[in-house]
A = this chain, B = another copy of it.
Amino acid sequence: MSNPASPTEFETVTATSPAVVPVRLGDRSYDVLIGPDLLRDAGRRIAAVAPGAACGIVTDTTVAAHHLAPLQASLDEAGLRHTVVTVAPGEGSKSYAGFAEVCDALLAARLERGDCVVALGGGVVGDLAGFAAASLKRGMTLVQLPTSLLAQVDSSVGGKTAINSPLGKNLVGAFHQPSLVLADTASLDTLAPREFRAGYAELVKYGLIDDLDFFQWLERYRGAVCGGGLERVEAIRRAVAAKAAVVARDEFETGDRALLNLGHTFGHALERLTGYDGTRLVHGEGVAIGMSLAFRYSVHEGLCSGQDAERVTAHLRAAGLPTSIGAIPGWTADADAMLDAMAQDKKVSRGSLTFILARGIGQSFIARGVVPERVRAFLRDELPPDGERA
């Protein structure tokens, strides 16, 4: 993975011959397939991992309008019975009520333990359908069909599923690996530009964690990645391969899987304090600001050069992403509220904060025992003065 791939290296990816990234987890191993038009062929591939299973498709109204019909046709062709549960788009569906609704609808369709929950959508649908699949009859087969960039490079791979509590994001869930992930890169063409940009933040994350070479590659090919084509497939393949390697080492996040949370401790607090209001802040934007904050806090602590932190924010800004709290419309919370929101994070241990910090681009590490008072002081400088709030 060290040399920037030239376009010729990934020219062979086609609908019938997608890129394949195996996730190696013993008897829970599975493949992530990446390429154009995979949804049209989904029935045959699902039948291969769950022969004869009935499928409970979980999707949202926006995604359904674009992708449900071809998926259903493909399942019909493969001879798989299917039923559909449609939820409202947006983070609000990842709630206790949304969970109950999806579970009961799948039960009403008489899905059995050996049948298959098919998550067709972005991160919200994947997390919600995944937690339902983990819980229904104490565990059903799950297939992820991620249709957003964010879901393709992050949430659909690795088995984390969850819903939100009023007390914080992703606080109630399960580790439940899918049996197959089909990342149809053509489906990204239907994304709103803001959603595509949000997913791009998670792509950048893999470079920032431990792959300076990938970050440099993205600096060079960002235009092509955003424009579609083979560079996009290659960017997703590299991100998924990076995630698969971490997950294979640490499935249940007892160790360095926590690195994947770069930008997320700050980001989740930002999302919580904006009430998960997707008109103000979507998840990937929270991660973009969170990564910027993590790098600037690393500079503040004398760990990282200011040059590297500026290079990170410059790239994110060039991709159209926000990089400071002041960019969030209507922001009013203070540093204490931020600390309070972060205290509910899953990575808190015995009251002390754990952050992912960096010694430079591609040199992130898990920092335990971060002193809240130092973070508070840093955030006071970061927060926009009252008069300048967006």
Contact = CB atoms under 8 A, between A and B. Distances in A.
A107 B138 contact: no
A107 B344 contact: yes
A348 B174 contact: no
Interface of A: 52, 96-97, 99-100, 103-104, 107-108, 110, 112-114, 131, 134-139, 160, 162, 165-168, 171-175, 252, 343-344, 346, 348-350
Q: Which residue among A100, A110, A114, A350 has the maximum number of chain B CB atoms within 10 Å of its CB?
A: A100
A135 B167 contact: no
Contacts of A99: 96
B107 A168 contact: yes
28 contacts: A52-B350, A96-B96, A96-B97, A96-B103, A103-B172, A104-B166, A104-B167, A107-B167, A112-B349, A112-B350, A114-B349, A131-B135, A134-B174, A135-B135, A135-B172, A135-B173, A137-B346, A138-B160, A138-B162, A138-B173, A138-B174, A138-B175, A138-B252, A138-B346, A139-B174, A139-B175, A139-B252, A174-B174
A138 B107 CA distance: 23
Nearest to A168: B107
B174 A135 contact: yes
A100 B163 CA distance: 11
A96 B137 CA distance: 14
Contacts of A172: 103, 135-136
B162 A110 contact: no
What does DSSP make chain A's interface, helix, strand, loop or mixed?
mixed
A166 B108 CA distance: 10
Contacts of A175: 138-139
Q: Which residue among A112, A134, A138, A171 has the maximum number of chain B CB atoms within 10 Å of its CB?
A: A138
Contacts of A138: 160, 162, 173-175, 252, 346
Q: Which residue among A107, A108, A252, A343 has the maximum number of chain B CB atoms within 10 Å of its CB?
A: A107
A100 B104 contact: no
A282 B348 CA distance: 41
A62 to B, nearest CB: 26
Given A135-B174, A160-B138, A165 B346 contact: no
Contacts of A171: 103, 107, 136-137
A348 B135 CA distance: 17
A359 to B, nearest CB: 26
A137 to B, nearest CB: 4
A349 B113 contact: yes
Contact of A104 (B160, B165, B173, B343): B165
Contacts of A114: 349-350
Q: Which residue among A99, A108, A112 has the maximum number of chain B CB atoms within 10 Å of its CB?
A: A112
A350 B53 CA distance: 9
Closest 10 CB pairs of A and B: A96-B100, A107-B167, A137-B346, A135-B172, A138-B173, A103-B172, A112-B348, A107-B165, A104-B165, A138-B175
Nearest to A112: B348
Contacts of A137: 171, 346
A138 B137 CA distance: 17
Nearest to A162: B138
Given A113-B346, A114-B350, A135-B173, 18 more contacts: A52-B350, A96-B99, A96-B103, A103-B165, A104-B165, A104-B166, A107-B165, A110-B344, A112-B349, A112-B350, A113-B349, A114-B349, A134-B174, A136-B171, A138-B173, A138-B174, A139-B174, A139-B175
